[in-house]
């Protein structure tokens, strides 16, 4: 769904079946008042979490300093 959202934001064409799935997903986010958050421990890598006051998009911005590991670069 995040890829469909990116395509929609970029104004790229989306098949009608995908557009329908995207509308349903966006409706679910709004109705359940949730956002997508990165979760390295989940099988999919992402999960839906309750929206917080500072969430300003459908994807939660990662917090700085999530890990003590050093970056590879």
Domain-wise residue ranges, the chain: 2-50
Contact 50, 34 (CB under 8 A): yes
The model's confidence at residue 70, banded by pLDDT at 50, 70 and 90, is low
Residue in this structure with the two tokens 């992402």, named with its chain if needed = 46
The Cα–Cα gap between 26 and 35 comes to 10
| The pLDDT of residue 41 | 83
pLDDT in tens, 40-53: 888 888 899 999 99
pTM summary value: 0.76
The Cα–Cα gap between 41 and 73 comes to 23
Residue in this structure with the two tokens 């709004």, named with its chain if needed = 30
The Cα–Cα gap between 2 and 45 comes to 12
């Amino acid at each position: 769904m995040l890829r469909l959202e990116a395509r929609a934001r970029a104004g790229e064409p989306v098949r009608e079946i995908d557009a329908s799935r995207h509308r349903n997903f966006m409706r679910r986010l709004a109705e359940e008042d949730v956002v997508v958050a990165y979760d390295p421990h989940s099988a999919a890598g992402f999960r839906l979490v309750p929206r917080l006051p500072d969430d300003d998009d459908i994807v939660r911005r990662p917090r700085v300093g999530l890990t003590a590991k050093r970056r590879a670069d």
